[in-house]
Structure 1
Amino acid sequence: MVVLTTKVMQRTALFVTFGGLVTSLITTFLPFWKTMNSDLNEVENWFSGLWHTCLYTEEVGIQCKAYDSIMGLPMDLQVSRVLMSVSIVTGGCSVLAAFPGLEGVDMCVGQPSVKRLLLVFSGVLSWVSGLTTLAPVSLVAYTTVVEFWDEGFPDVMPRWEYGEAMFSGWFGGLALIIGGTLFFVAVCMGDYEQMPPSEPRSPQAKHRTRHYQKTEVL
């Protein structure tokens, strides 16, 4: 009994891609990209995301405020907003394009070339979505490290550190890339299954071929 079939691989790719898309979508709107707490006031914890800045205190709880102006944002946050938006759009298109290309779905019936093209297109979109998720998360992580070790800031001044959303963004981007790769694997498996089986040569034919080769040598 063969468990890993083309149909199973296609659905696994769709499941992994959808999971990466949901994770990237949640990461985009989470305000926990960066976190900061001060040794002077341990009661307050600051959180920063792409769209909001939040303050957590034990008395009031968490309070979030949207950024006043887009132009006043640092360049890494502006670029991250655009790339994460592209990631969500391409990831959603990847899932929508893959669904009619799956085996067993009553769409594009009798058109295997169209189904194959849809799966390839979905794999490419999933790769684009994964890369446009990893790029902004890695960019914000890089700027956070640079600012953290900047010797121009006083030592008593609090520094921004990694938040939970950074790690969920890396996980979502990797899931999208893995999902796109699995789509390509499913396409290759389908192409292999559609190849005509090679006819085994009979022992008599092999014997005749050897006889002809010996005759030619003589």
Structure 2
Amino acid sequence: MVFLTTKMMQKTALFVTVGGLITSLITTFLPLWKTMNSDLNEVENWYSGLWHTCLYTEEVGIQCKAYDSILGLPMDLQISRVLMSVSVGTGGLAVLAAFPGLEGVDVCVGQPGVKRGLLIFGGVLSWVSGITTLVPVSVVAYTTVVEFWDEGFPDVMPRWEYGEAMFSGWFGGLALLIGGTLFFVAVCMGDFDRRPPSVPNSPQVKHRTQHYLKTEVL
């Protein structure tokens, strides 16, 4: 295909990585990781995130409050805070590392090996960012399911359910993984374009070449 060039693949990888990074960043600060609605009071909706909880009522609107103590948080939220922070940091570094390695960027001009290494480094960081996004979201989703079906809680007690941030986190993590993979594909395409022209290397050609050399010497 004409449009499937190394340069286009590099731009696509950067675009997908930036999209996944922005989605993960928004997911980190959204208070919509878990939602809860009581059957006894349907006008109140509770939302829980990594940094604060929010209460929505029709009369007042949304009121948010930060957690009083980090040590008082459940273990899954503490781990998710750390991993999502690592995800945003590594995702930003992936973009900064891969951008100078793109074709057409006037950085490290005439040094294809350096540009190739920057793209590989950006792809690895994008993978790390994607994994550190998917792990906390999946852990919180697992604990939410376990607590939802816990038979030790009374039936009248409201349960936490999935929020919109869970799905955006999965989407952002997958986008970061795909972006990192596309960086590796772009590197392979660049190596293929820079390969030397093929030289006949059959035994008959080798024998004829040696014969001609001996004839010239004689």
Q: TM-score, normalised by structure 1?
A: 0.92
Residue 19 of structure 2 corresponds to which residue in structure 1? 19
Q: Deviations over 1:81-131 (max 9, x none)?
A: 000000000000000001100001000011110000000000000000000
Deviations, residues 192-218 of structure 1 (Å, cap 9, x unaligned): 1111121469xx96xx8xxxxxxxxxx
Residue type of the alignment partner of 1:169 = G
d(CA) in 2 for partners of 1:102, 1:118: 9
Distance, in Å, in 1 between the alignment partners of 2:197 and 2:85 is 46
AA in 2 matched with 1:60? V
**For 1:200 and 1:104, how far apart are their aligned partners in 2?**
34
1:145-160 aligned at under 5 Å gives the runs 145-160=145-160
Alignment of 1:31-42 (within 5 A): 31-42=31-42
Indicate the residue corresponding to 2:86 in structure 1. Answer: 86
Cα deviation code 1:64-87 (max 9, x no counterpart): 000000000000000000000000
Rounded to whole Å, the distance in 1 between the matches of 2:59 and 2:46 is: 15
- Residue aligning to 2:173: 173
Distance in 1, matches of 2:14 and 2:51, equals 29
Matched, 1:119 2:132: no
Q: Which runs of 5+ in 2 are unaligned?
A: 209-218
Residue type of the partner of 1:55? L
Flag structure 1 segments of 5+ consecutive residues without an equivalent.
Answer: 209-218
> SS at the partner of 2:43?
coil
Residue 49 (structure 1) aligned with residue 49 (structure 2): yes
Q: Give 3-state SS (helix, strand or coil) of 2:46's partner.
A: strand
Q: 1-side partners of 2:197 and 2:37: how far apart?
A: 66
- How far residue 3 of structure 1 moved from its aligned partner, in angstroms, is 1.0
Amino acid at match of 2:123: G
Give the root-mean-square deviation of aligned CA atoms: 1.8
State the aligned residue count: 207
The alignment-based identity, stated in percent, is 86
Cα distance in 2 for partners of 1:13, 1:193 equals 18
Work out the CA distance in 2 between the residues paired with 1:48 and 1:2.
48
State how far apart, in whole Å, the 2-side matches of 1:5 and 1:200 are.
27
Q: Distance in 2 between matches of 1:153 and 1:130?
A: 35
Q: Which amino acid is 2:137 matched to?
A: V
| Deviation beyond 3 Å, 4+ runs, structure 1 | none
The aligned amino acid for 1:98 is: A
1-side partners of 2:99 and 2:48: how far apart? 36
TM-score calculated relative to the size of structure 2? 0.92
